Amino acid sequence: MTDELPGADPPRAELPRADLLRAERLTRLFKIGGTLSPRTLHAVDDVSFTIGEREIVALAGESGSGKSTIARMLAQVYKPTSGEVFFEGKPLSSMTRTPSCCCPRCPTRGPRCPWRRRPTGASRPGSSTRPPAAGSAGAAR
């Protein structure tokens, strides 16, 4: 007799999992203090992990444990003092950063995108800030 429930789908064969993001021996040191009392803060020390495709991961830890520093190294805001981050098997340090944009239709692909989020009440390109004319389809009746 098997442990399967009646009507349940048969178990699927596990597909080989590709590593999407891999961090190897990440370390980040910050120099603190003045020239008379130089010190080093070990924000992250020798951290390694792998995130596979279709995985959801949470990074948890105590206050001051380096969670934000790890996230900033993954986003390339900080460079690791040592170690490496790989995306789809390629080191992030060898990839060039291109300006990102908020939408696929952007002609500039950067911070000057005309469709980039604007403060509330600001108009989009090609839209009018004036109310619709009386008698038009958008006017109040």
25: pLDDT confidence band, cut at 50, 70 and 90? very high
Which of 115, 114, 100, 30 shows the shortest CA–CA distance to 66? 30
Residue-level pLDDT at 95:
81
Residues 81-101 have a mean pLDDT of 83
Residue ranges covered by each domain of the chain: 19-94
34 pLDDT more than 80: yes
Specify the DSSP class assigned to residue 127.
Answer: -
For residue 44, how many C-alpha atoms fall within 13 Å in the half-sphere facing its CB? 26
Whether 24 and 48 have beta carbons less than 8 Å apart is answered as yes
Confidence of residue 88 (pLDDT cuts 50, 70, 90): very high
In whole angstroms, give the CA distance from residue 38 to residue 33: 5
Which tops the pLDDT comparison, 9 or 33? 33
CB atoms within 10 A of CB 22: 17
Among 12-16, 32-36, 58-62, the range of highest mean pLDDT: 58-62
Indicate the fold that domain 19-94 takes in CATH.
Answer: Rossmann fold (3.40.50)
Quote the pLDDT of residue 29. 96
Helix, coil or strand: residue 39 = strand
Are 59 and 70 in contact by the 8 Å Cβ rule? The answer is yes
- How much is the pLDDT for 18? 78
Neighbouring CB atoms inside 10 A of 20's CB total 15
Segment 95-114, tens digit of pLDDT: 876 555 555 555 555 556 65
Res. 79: pLDDT tops 60:
yes
The per-residue pLDDT of the chain, averaged, comes to 77
Determine the 3-state secondary structure of 67 from DSSP: helix
